[in-house]
Structure 1
Amino acid sequence: MNIKITGTGSYIPKVITANADFDNHEFYNLDGTGFPQDNKTTIAKFKAITGIEERRYLEENLNTSDMAVIAAQKALEDAGTDPETLDYIIVAHNYGDVKHESIQSDTVPSIATRVKYHLRIKNPKCVGYDVLFGCPGWIEGLIQAQAFMKAGMAKKCLVIGAEALSRVVDKHDRDSMIFSDGAGAVVLEETEEEGGILAHESGTYAFNEANYIYFGKSNRTEAPDDLRYIKMNGRKIYEFALMNVPAAMKTCLENSGKSIKDLKKVFIHQANEKMDEAIIKRFYKLHQLEAPKNVMPMTIQELGNSSVATVPTLYDLVVKNKIADQQLEKGDVVMFASVGAGMNVNAIVYQY
């Protein structure tokens, strides 16, 4: 018996925010001092490093749980699955439901419970819970779902990654331009079909790295002191990712029994274009190879960094032939990989 993704779905918010929309922002350094250059220079440097030209923000009347429901409905329809037959609903997020212009995160009931409610599932044996694991949360959800199946505790799971980072960004922080919103979902099932999850690798580095991503006050010193926003140490994260993600990917591939030459696509967390390119380059260098062209699909240019939603959204778009020159064929070996708050790293080798 193999464990495979039988359906995919995603929700890409309608509100498009371009880089030019940040021209009128007042950016400050972490210590409250102003930037020496004008915003056009700041934005140009930002694009050169991250590759981001625009990002998506969810509509004012929606929350993280709403996006999760829409992505879930699409995945269930794609799989032809009756929601009542689900054993688990696992939702990866980090900040819960934060209403437009609110300062509170709402996580009770859990996002998974809200998804189950809106799907109108009556079966009490369909268990819903949330995963807080930084940006790698959706991949970790897949790893957990697989474990339930291998243990005989489940046959069918819905795994969702949903996040609304636009609700927790500090508009006076240059890093706010990275973040975006979205949701992606898959149905994972036991099947006789060949392939599926072949191996996984996961780890948490917290001894020195726990606070590379954290909640902190605004960079603007005059802002209310009781408000907190997502903050990150970009340089530390970049160095950490290059040191640890390629190694985790290599271990995962070795455990799968597949060769680097079997690998057709790497679906990596859309964190930063330059960082992702460097990770892929180093991963292939560990095998004394150069990274093939087109091995790494990218959506960050248009969709930004939507945390847990980036990998499942990217996978859904490729599976449904919505990204030019990026297709999959049955039997293709791919990898999911991510890095984020924790600092957490994980990877999965998967045969399509």
Structure 2
Amino acid sequence: MNTYSRVAGTGSYLPEQRVSNQDLVERLAKIGIETSDEWIMTRSGIAARHFAADNQLTSDLAVKAAEAALMSAGCTSADLDLIILATSTPDHLGGFPSTACVVQDKLAAHNYCAAFDVQAVCAGFTYALAIADAFIRTGSYKKVLVLGAETFSRILNFEDRTTSVLFGDGAGAVVLEASTEPGILATALHADGSQRDILCVPGRAGHGQVHGSPFMTMDGPAVFKLAVKVLEQVAHEVLEKANLKPEQIDWLVPHQANIRIMESTARKMNMSMDKVIVTVHEHGNTSAASIPLALDAGIRSGQIQRGQHLLLEGVGGGFAWGAVAVKY
């Protein structure tokens, strides 16, 4: 009998500090940077985002989302065999100890379950889901907590209005469990390191100092052009693997980077925006957290129902991209 991985529960968390476009306009004005709510909305579809408090770490956001997902799945941290956390903003410089290990401790998952981080930026959650699915299908693990969590506000240069208005903080989580019924139907992952410079944090730490910029930089037009191209390609690829046609997808749950990218992807897939889960207007771009945040929002709103087919996809720095076809 085949073993599959099934979505048993989802959860999400947004920090309490909601930052509207007007709040950001006023903040930027204080340092001589001009922008407007209309400028931000027109180019991104973002009306607000959430920023973590000074004393909140990425792991703190992840724990909140994990607790909600565990409750949704009807299990506890003691039931977990593995924790995979996708993030580009880990708790610790150098990325260790891994934020997943910190989350394991904060969840009191003291059964020595495996825990590690995945770094594929905005595509991180699709990578983490694919890894978890593979572990479950091979019988290595039976219950896996998959997280996407970010505190991107910590790496934003607020003197650069082209990036500082786009990103926010948050966390999303999924509990995957072994099942005899198909859940995750197919995955597809890709990367192109030659495009790494169009979206990156170029600084490097060495001998106690940061060499280069510690802030994120982005070539917006180049990222947009590449994102639209690869998202269409990977969507068709994963649907072919899953033996599905675009019209059989009930919901597209994309990385919430930019409303124009999502609209372009839906149009190329001949899908109505009525079938796209959109949270970018309230969340901004939360990188690895954006897909699980949107997924949880769609489930808790009642839009996404059991038995429906979902297409999850994301693209980010690296350059990395991926897609996952799911029967929820």
The structure that has the greater radius of gyration is 1
Whole-Å Cα distance in 2 between the matches of residues 84 and 93 of structure 1?
A: 23
Q: Give the drift of 1:202.
A: 0.6
SS at match of 2:121: coil
1:271 aligns with: 257
Counterpart of 1:233 in structure 2 is 219
Return closer, same or farther for 1:239/1:293 CA change in 2, 3 Å cut-off.
closer
1:327 aligns with 2:315: no
CA 1:167–1:200: 2 relative to 1, 3 Å: same
Offset at residue 51 of structure 1 (A): 0.6
Q: Indicate if the aligned counterparts of 1:27 and 1:172 stay in contact, CA closer than 8 A.
A: no
Counterpart secondary structure, 1:338: strand
Partner of residue 78, structure 2: 84
Q: How far did residue 214 of structure 1 move?
A: 1.3
Residues 10 and 184, structure 1, Cα contact 8 Å, conserved in 2 = yes
Q: Structure 1 or 2: larger helix share?
A: 2
**Structure 1 residue 158 corresponds to structure 2 residue 145:** yes
Question: Compared with structure 1, are the counterparts of its residues 82 and 46 closer, same or farther at alpha carbon in structure 2 (3 Å cutoff)?
Answer: closer
- Count of matched residue pairs: 318
Q: By how many angstroms is 1:227 displaced? A: 5.0
1:296-322 per-residue CA deviation (whole Å, 9 max, x = no partner) reads 11111111111011110111111111x
Aligned to 2:189: 202
Q: Using the alignment, how far apart are the partners of 1:297 and 1:95 within structure 2?
A: 25
Ranges of 4+ aligned residues in structure 1 off by more than 3 Å: 224-227
Aligned to 1:172: 159
Q: Does the CA contact (< 8 Å) of 2:183 and 2:327 recur in 1?
A: yes
CA distance in 1, matches of 2:212, 2:237: 43
1:318 is matched with 298
Mapped pair 1:343 → 2:323: no
Tell me by how many angstroms 1:60 deviates.
2.1
CA distance in 2, matches of 1:293, 1:167: 32
Q: Residue 292 and residue 44 in structure 1: after superposition, are their counterparts in 2 closer, same or farther (change >3 A)?
A: closer
Residue of structure 1 equivalent to 2:8 = 6
Correspondent of 2:238 among 234, 246, 252: 252
TM-score for both structures, normalised by structure 1 = 0.86
Ranges in structure 1 where 5+ consecutive residues have no aligned partner: 29-33, 99-104, 218-223, 285-289
Normalising by structure 2, we get a TM-score of 0.92
Alpha-carbon distance, 1:46 to partner: 2.4
Q: Could you give the per-residue CA deviations for residues 22-59 of structure 1, whole angstroms, max 9, x where no partner exists?
A: 3342699xxxxx98xx433xx42221010111111112
C-alpha separation in 1, matches of 2:241 and 2:278: 26
Gaps of 5+ in 2: 204-209
Q: Distance in 1 between matches of 2:94 and 2:22?
A: 32
Give, as a single letter, the amino acid of the residue that structure 2 aligns with 1:311. Answer: I
Taking only the aligned residue pairs, the percentage that are identical comes to 31
> How much is the aligned-residue C-alpha RMSD, in angstroms?
2.0
